[in-house]
Structure 1
């Protein structure tokens, strides 16, 4: 198997974990599926890398970041996604 396959598989697993943690942190019920959770995690990693670049060495462009930056980025992406789509549902007590 090629290294490209493993790179893509790594991004999928990384995105799934970061997206899942972001969904656990953001309160309420998310009506997004597995694919959107992966997308939120991957995009969150890039957003986290962008923000880390702004706060550390300066603007270095878009790049992935580590776990903490990815989770923070995924939370930001999820909150923005929920605001734009209005898909967030509150849990009733």
Structure 2
């Protein structure tokens, strides 16, 4: 596997979008910074792609809606976990 600068930048952008979407679907305010949102989004995008590939819905015609849904759900779970962990630390 060969990483390029363009690939890394695209991964960060996709992670930011997935992380932001994950935050948007959660009700209320999340006490999590933008950098952590991007990190959670990158991890959710990667794991979501692996899961979509494992269940056979990674490469479909057009937009991979099921893969995107998996990634956003994972990002929402990740944001909720990180936000909950950081709020418990401050108490």
| TM range, smaller chain | 0.5 to 0.7
Determine if the alignment matches structure 1 residue 33 to structure 2 residue 33.
Answer: yes
Larger helix proportion, structure 1 or 2? 2
Aligned length: 77
Q: What is the CA RMSD across the aligned residues, in angstroms?
A: 2.5
If the length of structure 2 is used for normalisation, what is the TM-score? 0.67
Q: Which residue of structure 1 aligns with residue 19 of structure 2?
A: 19
If the length of structure 1 is used for normalisation, what is the TM-score? 0.66
Q: Which residue of structure 2 aligns with residue 51 of structure 1?
A: 51
Runs of 5+ unmatched residues, structure 2: 57-65
Q: Which residue of structure 1 aligns with residue 75 of structure 2?
A: 74
For the structure 1 residues 23 and 9, does the alpha-carbon distance in structure 2 shift closer, same or farther, using more than 3 Å as the test? same
